[in-house]
Structure 1
Amino acid sequence: MSAADATASPHRPGREAELLQLPQWCRTAAASLAVCAGWAATTWIALHLQADATLHTAALFVHLASLVLGFGAVLAVDYFGVLWLMGRKTLREVLDFTAPLHVPVWVGLGGLLFSGAFLHPDLGSPLTCVKLGLVLVLALNGVQASALHRRLATVNGEPVRPALLIRSAVTAAVSQAAWWGAVTIGFLNSQH
């Protein structure tokens, strides 16, 4: 076999790993489906399980701790994003700072979803339904934000296209609106 035949072969070293990688849109779609399934599962649990006082208290603690973890990380990410949009931080600084914060955001959001199912949410209340909708929006926005982060990481020192700037600003705005909306409704519901 000649050297030309070896390079033309689809079985070159590392080619199998390339073939097994899903396109980015497939990974984003799979993550979005997983988010929807998790949201639906926790909503089903809330409808079908009545937690006793001990489980309710434990779930409330996990809920509050998850709020601090997830929302705190989101505030840090969005704050650094605003600093970038204002020209006070470079894109590389923002990406390097925010990359590790994806884990606490998702752990916090997952903790909020799971623990919330044990807090006796009134699913007959329109306000609670709006809150559940906001939680789904912020989770799907988080999937999109992760894809945006990966896309921005490919910008190597060149100016960021206006479309990516707009997408970044909209992502942050949706994030903040959904988080603050869900927190506000949660507070209002706790007063009843």
Structure 2
Amino acid sequence: MALQCTQLPIPTSVRFDETSKAVAKHRRSFYGGSSQGLKNSNSILQARFLHHCKRDVTRQTRQWNKRSTLCVRAKEQKPTWVEMIPITGEAQFDEVLQSENPVIIDWMAAWCRKCIYLKPKLEKLAAEYDPDIKFYFVDVNTVPSTLVSRAGVTKMPTIQLWKNKEKAGEIIGGDQGWLVMDKIREMLTVKK
């Protein structure tokens, strides 16, 4: 769904090839002067009309609209991070494993510094694979120990890839964050 930038509408009676004239007219009325310093209509467009949505949209997603506004947002931007979903018990763990898509489960503890360090990085990585692959986390201090032993977790942080109710990969994250993220990406591409 395209969202329109409506801060600077152009009258619908203006033809698209006359847009630069309308922009120059708008600029003169807005600034109360002439547009002598700007001879190129593109620089006028960049200086005034594209500046208002610079923070909202990247230049690649802007499109010219021939109707009532100069630019529209082509699509919603993907989120930069996706919050990981907590698993709080064995029933929920079994439900997560029923998924047709692969899932990543981060086994962590609240007292583990490396776990706390990796969690925001995993949430950022989750945004890259959302909605195809879901990311979950388990705090080993709040779930039954049978669940932890059932998953075969002995060290924290442990990041596991589960697919078709079976563990398809495992990373014990003692490395730097970027190394762990690269290992997870590699694990996801190999196991697809």
- Whether these two folds match at TM > 0.5 is no
Higher relative contact order (CA 8 A, sep 6+): 1
Q: Which one has the bigger strand percentage?
A: 2
TM-score normalised according to structure 1 size: 0.29
Q: Which one has the bigger helix percentage?
A: 1
TM-score normalised according to structure 2 size: 0.29
